[in-house]
Amino acid sequence: MTTSREANPNLTFRRFEDGDHEWHSMHDKIFKEDTSHKCPTYVHRTPPCQGSCPSGEDIRGWLDIMRGIEKPPAGVTKEEYAFRRSTTANPFPAMMGRVCPAPCQTGCNRNKVDDFVGINSVEQYIGDSAFDGKFKFVDVPALGNKKVAIIGGGPAGMSAAYHLRKMGIASTIFEERPELGGMMRYGIPGYRLPRERLEHENNRILEMGGITTKMNTRVGKDVAVADLEKQFDAVLWAIGCWNGRSLPLKDFDTTPNCVSAVKFLEKFNKGEMQYTGKKIVCVGGGDTSIDVVSVSRRIGTLKNLTEKPEDVVNGKIKHSNIKMADKEPCQSVVLTALFKRENMTAAQHEVNDALVEGVKIMNEVMPVEIIKDASGRATALKLVDCKFEKNMPVAIEGGKEYIVEADLIVSAIGQYGDLAGNETFDNGRALINSDSYYQVPGKPGHFVCGDIVRPHLLTTAIGQGSVVAQTIKSYVEQAEMKKRPKVDVHHFNLLGKLNEAKLAPESFADKKFEEDQQRGTDKKKFAVHNYDDRSQQEIIGTDKMFLGHFEFVARNLRDEDVPTSAQVLGHFHERQIGLKAEQATQEAERCMSCGLCFECDNCVIFCPQTAVYKVKKNESTTGRYVATDYSKCIGCHICADVCPTGYIDMGMGE
């Protein structure tokens, strides 16, 4: 009899699904399969966490390092080794561990067992360990004679500069604003993304050398594109999207106190907006809109507010040295969204935090009219109940109508680029076109990455910075562009690991021909035997894994410093409190190491013929923990059946 997951939410595995009643005879498997030609091969596949990561991080790799499965080289702590593995793809672990919405966790196979692995929380621990330990990037190659102009010092541009430098290519970053960081600095509040950590991660990239910066410099105004083309071997556009989309309502753009979330947050993050209006309405539903309303609750308003709140957003005035004694909480802060609360694109914990802080959230409503006074300023926003038809919101006939008072209406429904002075690159949608290699079509020597291609996540921009760096390398070296793999991420490299462990295969070129070489190489030392790397083609699903191995283990949750509505005014402490070392290790241990051996010994223990064995310690490393004596193997399949990670395929002879 089976038990439903609804009846027991802690149930981790069901051997039989409802309706599956077929009996599988172990007698047949063991004693009647000895003529099978199939024997175990060890197959490396990409886990879905990594396949879901826009930065392409080797997540399984640094989790296995943190848990002690993959051992670091002598003299290197597991934290530093995990940092090195993490930053093969993403140079911002402390940042992404805090603010990435973590599509990796949505993709995590452990969701089929109990709950996803807290990948973000372990990444934050790794990033903070690097901050505390002052870890540097090592093995930086010498510079060649090529140099690249990078326009924009945000996550995409900094990522590209980092990856180019790892290839020996110098770059100069042209940044319009006074500080590096892009939307990480000017779009996300410091209580979510501490500025000293951001400074550290930016500076760690610059300390590699060969990366220079020109701040307060706008290409197309202060520097001509033609001059960059003459001075540099390639030009990369990573300018982000600094214009916020207006609400599709009559007079939004001409109503003075209707503003964009991009401008609102930039003024706050620059320190130029230290209070706001008394009644704030933000239309959105994503993380940006959550930042707008959470900031509004923290900065509050003045007890005797006389200025217009839009004047600071539009740059007419700047705040400085405002005393808390002169402030009071906003009378109302309202967030409206087209979707149900559970379908909002903002991270659910951010939504929940906003509610605790006193934000009112209205779901499944759409704005239909700006209500204005005689002077032309907005006094309220009219909304109606809505539903989606053909992927578009429509008002529900006979639904309710809402009038929400406001002295500042903020639009957080999307962003687009600012291409003033560089209009020849505008694709008609205030973005820049890109091919699959992040080249700008029709503009030889020009490349593009990040939000200006299509506004998306910070981690997406970082991942594109990595890919475009490889494209630029091929271009400046006049090499053929290599086809990107189907699973386009930073893969675990067995040969690299063997080299690191001083277990590299011997050179085949030095071997003399022997007659028996044509009859197999399993005893030879010039090949990695019975290993198939399918990581660039396949993402492993739970259908290839033995989930019965994994017990229910509760997730290690980070603490949060979330103020109540009575405490939120002036509360700028960091919201996300990182895991302790022991907690980070425990959370990493929940990783199922999908697609790669994690040394559980199941195959060794359950093999009825003792054909599967552990390799000698002095020959063992990650991915080379077990081997098979094929003279003993009878093809019973048991090792593959009990392999939790799906690392064993019965494929010999196929």
The domain that holds 364 is classified in CATH as 3.50.50.60
Q: What is the pLDDT of residues 418-466, one digit of tens each?
A: 999 999 999 999 999 999 999 999 999 999 999 999 999 999 999 999 9
Domain hosting residue 518, numbered range: 33-134+492-650
* pLDDT for 3 beyond 50: no
Residue 292 belongs to a domain:
yes
Q: What does the alpha-carbon distance between residue 267 and residue 288 come to, in Å, rounded to a whole number?
A: 14
| Domain co-membership, 397 together with 423 | no
Tens of pLDDT, residues 32-45: 554 557 889 999 99
Is residue 173 within 8 A of residue 153, CB to CB? The reply is yes
Highest mean pLDDT among 27-31, 129-133, 478-482, 501-505: 129-133
Is pLDDT of 58 > 50?
yes
Q: With residue 214 as reference, give the H or E element that holds it.
A: strand 211-214
Which helix (H) or strand (E) is 67 found in, with range?
helix 59-67
Name the domain count of the chain.
3
Task: Report the chain's mean pLDDT, rounded to a whole number.
Answer: 92
- One domain for residues 381 and 314: yes
pLDDT level of residue 2 (50, 70, 90 thresholds): very low
User: Are 301 and 399 found together in one domain?
Assistant: yes
pLDDT at position 619 is 87
Tell whether 407 and 265 lie within a shared domain. Answer: yes
* Chain centroid, CA 544 distance in Å: 26
Predicted confidence band of residue 10 (pLDDT cuts 50, 70, 90): low
The predicted structure's pLDDT at residue 1: 36
User: In angstroms, how far is CA 32 from the centroid of its own chain?
Assistant: 49
Higher pLDDT, 20 or 185: 185
516 and 624 belong to one structural domain:
yes
Question: Within this chain, do residues 409 and 506 fall inside the same structural domain, yes or no?
Answer: no
Other beta carbons within 10 Å of 106: 12
Does 380 lie in the same domain as 262? yes
Residues 540 and 620 in one domain: yes
Q: Is 470 helix (H, G, I), strand (E, B) or coil?
A: helix
What are the residue ranges of helices labelled H in 149-208? Answer: 155-166, 183-186, 195-206
- Cα–Cα distance, 196 to 332 (Å, whole number): 32
Place of tokens 């002295």: 407
Is 178 inside any structural domain? yes
Q: Are 156 and 461 in contact (CB under 8 A)?
A: yes
pLDDT at 583: 98
Instruction: Please indicate, yes or no, whether residues 299 and 448 belong to a single structural domain of this protein.
Output: no
Report how far apart, in Å, the C-alpha atoms of 63 and of each of 114, 598, 624, 638 are: 18, 11, 18, 27
Q: For residues 583 and 522, state if they share a domain.
A: yes
Question: What is the Cα–Cα distance from 520 to 515, expressed in whole angstroms?
Answer: 10
Q: Does residue 596 share a domain with residue 447?
A: no
Query: How large is the average pLDDT for residues 268-294?
Result: 97
Give the confidence band of 24 by pLDDT, cuts at 50, 70, 90. low
Stated pTM of the model: 0.92
Pair 294, 319 in one domain = yes
Q: What is the pLDDT of residues 327-381, one digit of tens each?
A: 999 999 999 999 999 999 999 999 999 999 999 999 999 999 999 999 999 999 9
- Give residue 297's pLDDT: 98
